[in-house]
Amino acid sequence: SYTTDTKSGEENKTTLETLYSLSVDITKIRRLKEWVLLQDVAYVKEIAGILQEMGADETTVANIIERCPEAILHTPAEINSQRALWQLVCQNEKQLIKLIEQFPESFFTTEYQQNQKANILFFQEMGLKNNIITRFLTSAPNIFYNPVEKNKKVIETLQRNYLNLGGSEANMKIWILKLLSQNPFILLNTSTAIQENLEFLQKNDFTDQEVLQLLSKLKGFIFQLNSTTMQKSMLFSKNTFKCSDHELKQLVLKCPALLYYSVPVLEERLEGLLKEGISIAQIRETPMVLELTTQIIQYRIKKLSALGYDIKSGNLESLNGTKKDFEVTYGKIQSKKERPIFNPVAPLHVED
């Protein structure tokens, strides 16, 4: 929406002076988006004024403009409309200014205001809480640029498939809201792509119940894949673990990452595990370790080895899980190691 063609090709003196008066670091803007300073028209004072009205102090205003210099090219009317729009989901202006400071680019994208408003109202009607919608506005702003009809169509496809796979009408709303809050980017897919991916799983003998299970486990990421990559990943796993179709299906249900990650990613992670002396048999037993990056695996093995825990001879469960899960496991192994060998309550058998 901005033009980078300027009449003079020189920096706008009025813009520079106003930015200086607001303590904005101009070198940052020159480094980041110098073309903003070349524009003949800018609304520095006006935009700063609106931000101050919302409660931003001088440092916050300078920080916002440094991070998103094109903010000063928007008209005050555009910014006030955007402000009213975001206030539909923000508790107050204090929260709004905090969000603008953290995610200025999301706020200052004003070309899709009609779509943004229609989508905000649609999400509220669906029952999504305002704090979830603000998270979408900041971390997944693209979903608001879609016409609301497109987002509705994707939601309808998900709802229809959920019911067709045996999900209950009573749980459908909760399922959809959970799926969306875990992964709003599913709305960037077409309803056709969603349909094709579900059909791919059914063709590979996953029962309706298992497909539903996979959808929940993958938090909707399955919709960002395509049948070709899923087929390649499954074939790679089948050859690596030398298993039958039925066994492969069980492995995928245990560890959906085998479906989600591309072959190069799986290869790299497998290689990392083998280098640590872990066997294919151990990985097949606990395939979830492939969900972790090689760096995380190396770090965890190193920590466990320092406690004298030999990962090569044990099972890999101790490596699994989130950072929090691992810390709990590590703590248990550590306290077991530090526990006194004798039971202080038991009678001592002392030789004469």
Residue 323 pLDDT class (50, 70, 90 cuts):
confident
Instruction: State percent of the chain over pLDDT 70.
Output: 93
pTM of the model: 0.77
Summarize pLDDT for 263-311 with one digit per residue, the tens: 999 999 999 999 988 889 989 998 999 988 999 999 988 888 888 888 8
Asked if residue 79 is part of any domain, the answer here is yes
What band does 8 get if pLDDT is binned at 50, 70 and 90? low
Range with lowest mean pLDDT among 8-22, 123-137, 205-219, 235-249: 205-219
Q: Which amino acid is at 351?
A: E
Task: Measure the CA angle with vertex 124, ends 123 and 130; round to 5°.
Answer: 100
Mean pLDDT of 153-169: 91
Given a cut of 60, whether residue 341 has pLDDT beyond it is no
pLDDT higher than threshold 50 for residue 5: no
Q: Which domain holds residue 59?
A: 10-110
Angle at 222 between CA 220 and CA 226, to 5 degrees: 145
320 phi and psi angles, rounded to 5 deg: -75, 170
pLDDT tens-digit profile of 213-261?
888 777 777 777 888 999 999 999 999 999 999 999 999 999 988 988 9
**351: pLDDT strictly greater than 70:** no
The per-residue pLDDT for 4 is 46
| Residues in the chain, total | 352
Question: How far is it, in rounded angstroms, from Cα 76 to Cα 63?
Answer: 19
Contact (Cβ atoms closer than 8 angstroms) between residue 195 and residue 157: yes
d(CA 156, CA 328): 41
| C-alpha distances out from residue 296 to 289, 292, 293, Å | 10, 6, 5
C-alpha dihedral (172, 176, 178, 184), degrees to nearest 10: 180
The phi and psi torsions of 69 (rounded to 5 degrees) equal: -55, -30
C-beta neighbour count of 302 within 10 angstroms = 10
Predicted local distance difference test score (pLDDT) of residue 106: 94
Is the model's pLDDT at 342 over the cut of 70? no
Residue 130 pLDDT more than 70?
A: yes
Q: Is residue 97 part of a domain?
A: yes
Spatial distance between the Cα atoms of 92 and 58, rounded to a whole number of angstroms: 20
Say if 229 falls within a structural domain. no
Query: Would the pLDDT of 92 be above 50?
Result: yes
- Specify the number of domains making up the chain: 1
